[in-house]
Amino acid sequence: MADYRIEIRRFDPERDEAPHWESYAVSAEPGDRLLDVLHQIKWYRDSTLSFRRSCAHGVCGSDAMVINGANALACTVMMSDLGPRVRIEPLRGLPVKRDLVVDMEPFYEQYRSVKPWLRAGPPPSSGRERVQSPPDRARFDDTTKCILCAACTTSCPVFWGGGSYIGPAAIVGAHRFLFDSRDEAGAERMEILDSRSGAWGCRTAFNCTEACPRGIKVTEAIAQVKRRRFSP
Partner 1 sequence: MTAPPRRIHHHRFDAVIVGAGGAGLRAAIETAGKCRTAVLSKLHPTRSHTGAAQGGMCAALANVEEDSWEWHAFDTVKGGDFLVDQPAAEIMCREAVDAVVELEHLGLPFNRTPDGRIDQRRFGGHTRNHGEAPVKRACYAADRTGHLILHTLYQQCLARDVVFFDEFQVLDAVFEGTPRRLAGVVAYELASGDLHVFSASAALFATGGFGRMFKVSSNAHTLTGDGPALLWRRGIPLQDMEFFQFHPTGIHKLGILLSEAARGEGGILRNRDGERFMERYAPTVKDLAPRDMVSRAMLSEIRQSKGCGPEGDHLHLDLTHLPAEQIDEKLPDITEFVKTYLGLDTKTDLIPIAPTAHYAMGGIPTNVDTEVVIDGLGTTIPGLYAAGECACVSVHGANRLGTNSLLDIVVFGRRAGARMVKFVAQGDAPPPLDDRAAAATVAALNALVTSPGTENVAAIRSDLQAEMTMNASVFRTQESLDHALGVLRTLRQRYDDVGVADPSRAFNYELTEAMELGYLLDLAEALLVAAAARTESRGAHFRDDFPKRDDEQWRIHSLAVRGADTSITLAERPVVGGSYLPVERKY
Angle at which helix 186-193 crosses helix 168-178, to 10 degrees, equals 160
Binding residues (CB under 8 A) for partner 1: these are: 12-15, 31, 33, 39, 42-44, 47-48, 50-62, 76, 78, 97-99, 101, 104, 108, 112, 115-118, 120, 123, 127-134, 136-137, 140-141, 144-148, 177, 180, 182, 215
Nearer to partner 1, 60 or 223 (CB): 60
Minimum CB separation from partner 1 for residue 204, in Å?
A: 26
Minimum CB separation from partner 1 for residue 163, in Å?
A: 24
Nearer to partner 1, 140 or 158 (CB): 140
CB atoms within 10 A of CB 151: 27
25: helix, strand or coil: strand
Nearer to partner 1, 39 or 92 (CB): 39
The answer to whether the beta carbons of residues 92 and 106 sit under 8 Å apart is no
Minimum CB separation from partner 1 for residue 87, in Å?
A: 21
Q: Which of 50, 41, 45, 39 is nearest to 14 (CA)?
A: 50
Minimum CB separation from partner 1 for residue 19, in Å?
A: 15
Residue 20 buriedness (CB in 10 A; 0-12 / 13-18 / 19+): exposed
36: helix, strand or coil: helix
Nearer to partner 1, 89 or 99 (CB): 99
Minimum CB separation from partner 1 for residue 118, in Å?
A: 3
Helix, strand, coil percent content, the chain, rounded in steps of 5: 35, 15, 50
46: helix, strand or coil: coil
Nearer to partner 1, 52 or 87 (CB): 52
Nearer to partner 1, 142 or 158 (CB): 142
Minimum CB separation from partner 1 for residue 210, in Å?
A: 17
Separation CA 232–CA 228 (nearest Å)? 5
What is the CA angle 171-175-176, rounded to 5? Answer: 120
